[in-house]
Structure 1
Amino acid sequence: MNDALRVALGETGHTTESLAERVGVDPKTVGRWLSEGRIPHARHRVSAAEVLGRDVSDIWPDTSRRRDPVWFRPWQEIEREAVALRWFESLVLPGLLQTEAYARAVLTGAGLIPRGDIERHLTTRLNRQGVLRQDDPPQFTAVIDEAVLRRPVGGRGTMHEQLRALIAACAEPHIRVHVVPSSVGAYAGLNGPFVIAQCPDHRLAGYLDNQVHGQVVSDVDDLAAIMAAWENVRGEALSHWQSVDLITEVAETWS
C-alpha cells in the first residue's frame, strides 16, 4: 500500500471519494493510487498533494528518485492512464506481455544498456505490466509478426515459457493478440513498431521506438499516419483465436 497517501487521507479526514471529487477523477482511480506501484498522472499528483496539504514528494517519493530515461517518462504516464492500447511489433513481443526471462534476454541482447543497469531496466519493464492486472485495465490489442514467435530469444526454454505465458494472457477478456502470418508479403508493419494509446478523454497518443530512444507522437497528421498503419497490420493479421492456435502450435516446437 501507499502508506503515505493512506496516512494523509486519514489525517485530513478525506476519503477516496472526497479526494476523487476534488481532483476530478473516479473514486476507483484514487483507490488504485493506494496500491503499491501506482503513480498518478503528474497533474493529478499535484492536485491531490494540494488538496491534502502535502508535497508531492512526500506522497510519491519514487517520482523524485526515478532513474528511467527522461524521454520515456511522458509515455509511461500516458500508458498508465490509457483506456485502450494498440501495439504492433515485428521483432519482439510487446513489453507488457514479456516474461522476466524473455525481457532479460531482450535487454541484454540489445547491447545498448550497461550490464549494471540491466536489472533496473528489467524491474521497470515488469512493473509496467501492472497496468494489465489492475481492476480496470485498458483494452489491450497486440498485433505481432509470426517471426516474433519463431525467433529464439533467450533459447528454447525461454521461448517455450514465453509462448505459454502469452497463451494464458490471451484468455483474459481485455487482451487480444493477432499474428500476421509469414505468408503475408510487404505490409505496413515492415516500417517498424508503434503503439497507440487512447486516453480517458478520448485523445490519442502514439509512441515510436528506435535504437536510441522513443518518441511520443501527438501531431494530428502523424497520428493519422499511424492509425492508417494500424488498420493495415490489423487487416493482414489472423483473428484472435486463429492466432492463439498458431501460438500454441509454435510453442510446442520450442518444448
Structure 2
Amino acid sequence: MADLPGPLAAFIVGEMRRARGAAGMTQETFGRAAGFSASHVSAVEGGTRALTIDFIKGTDRALTSGGLFERLAATFGAPSWFLPWLDAERAATQLRYFEPNLIPGLLQTEAYARDVLRLDPRLTGEEVERRVKARVERQSILHREAPPTLVVVVDEGAIRRSGLGAEKMMDEQLEHLVACAERPNVSVHVVPADVGVYAGLSGPLSLAHLLDGGWVGHLETQLGGEVVDRPGDLDTLFERWESVRNEALPRRQSQDLIKERLTNGST
C-alpha cells in the first residue's frame, strides 16, 4: 500500500488473515461480506495485490471490528481522510499537482517533509518520522517500470520560501526538484511572482487519471481533505488547473528559475 510502510502493510494484512480465521470465515465467505472476490482476498493475503482503503473498510465490515483496521492504517500510516486519494495516486497513469505554498509530497526530500510535518503540533516526534517515511515511500510510483506522467505547478513563493537556519535544507530540496524535473515522466512548472494575483492562490489541487479512463481530484484544507469525483466538480478543477497552468512558465524556463534561486538565494 503506497501510504503505509511495507512492513506495516504486511502486519495489517497478517492481522486481517488471523482475524478472518478466528471468525471461522473462508476467503470466499469473507470476500462476500467484504465486497471482494475470493481470488482478490487470496491475492491481498498472499502479497501479490496491494492493500487499499476499500479493502480495509471491507474487512472492518465483514469482521464487524468497529473500524479497527482503518484506525490502524490511519494511526501508523497516513491520515484516514488521505487514504482514498493515495489509492488513486498509486493507480494513476497521469498525475497533476498544483501547490501555491509548498513543494508537493511526491517531490519532497526527507528533510523538507520533516520540516513541513513538524508544523502540526498534534504530531509527536515518532509520528512525524513515521509520516516522513510513508511520504518518501509514496514516491516509489515514480520509479516503477511504468511510472505515471507527473505534471507539477508551483508558485514562485514555494521555491523561495526558507526560514532562518533552513537554507541548506531548502537548497537540497531545490536540487532534488531540478533532478526530478529532468526525468522524462516528470514536468515541473513555476508561476512567476510577477503574475500577481491568479486563480490558483485560493488553494492547492490534485488530479489523477486512472486506468479506466476516469479522473479523480483531491482538495486539501486546514482540516483535512476531500476526494472529488462528481463530474461538475471535476469540470471546475480542470478549469482551475488550466488557468494555473497557463500562468506558469514553460518547463525549461521553470528549471532556469529554480536554478537561479539556488545560485542567488531567496532574495
TM-score of the superposed pair, with normalisation by structure 2: 0.73
Using the TM superposition, name which of 63-72 and 182-191 deviates more. Answer: 63-72
Query: d(CA) in 1 for partners of 2:214 and 2:141?
Result: 19
Q: 2:14 maps to which residue? A: none
Q: Find out whether 1:56 has 2:44 as its counterpart.
A: yes
The aligned runs of 1:94-133 (5 Å cut-off) are 94-133=104-143
State the shift of 1:170 in Å: 0.8
- 1:144 aligned to 2:132? no
CA distance in 2 between counterparts of 1:202 and 1:98 reads 28
Give deviations 1:73-122, integer Å, cap 9, x for gaps: 11111000000001000000000000000110111124343333101111
- 2:145 maps to 135
Q: Secondary structure at the match of 1:109?
A: coil
Question: In structure 2, do the counterparts of structure 1 residues 155 and 53 end up closer, same or farther at CA, with 3 Å as the change threshold?
Answer: closer
Gaps of 5+ in 2: 1-5, 11-34, 57-68
| Same amino acid, percent of matched pairs | 41
Which amino acid in 1 is paired with 2:227? Answer: V
Which amino acid is the alignment partner of residue 221 of structure 1? G
Q: Deviations over 1:43-62 (max 9, x none)?
A: xx955xx3388373453797
1:199 to 201, 206, 210: 210
> CA separation in 2, counterparts of 1:199 and 1:108?
32
* Alpha-carbon distance between aligned partners in 2 of 1:110 and 1:53, rounded to the nearest angstrom: 36
Question: Partners in 2 of 1:178 and 1:61 — Cα distance?
Answer: 32
Residues 178 and 237, structure 1, Cα contact 8 Å, conserved in 2: yes
1:171 counterpart residue number: 182
Which 4+ stretches in 1 moved above 6 angstroms? 60-63
Displacement of 1:253 after TM fit? 2.7
Aligned CA-pair RMSD:
2.5
Q: Secondary structure at the match of 2:243?
A: helix
Give the Cα separation in 2 of the matches to 1:71 and 1:167. Answer: 30
Measure how far apart 1:149 and its partner are: 0.7
Instruction: Give the superposition deviation at 1:209.
Output: 0.5
Structure 1 Cα separation of the partners of residues 92 and 42 of structure 2: 27
Is the CA contact (8 Å cut-off) linking 1:217 and 1:223 kept in structure 2? Answer: yes
1:187 aligned to 2:214? no
CA shift in 2, pair 1:125/1:53, >3 Å: closer
Aligned residue number for residue 235 of structure 2: 224
The answer to whether the 8 A contact 1:88-1:143 is kept is yes
Q: Distance in 2 between matches of 1:177 and 1:216?
A: 23
How far is 1:157 from its partner?
0.2
- String of CA shifts for 1:160-192, please: whole Å, max 9, x gaps: 111111111111000000100000122111110
Match of 1:69 in 2: 79
With over 3 angstroms needed to count, the CA separation of the structure-2 counterparts of 1:152 and 1:222, relative to structure 1, is same
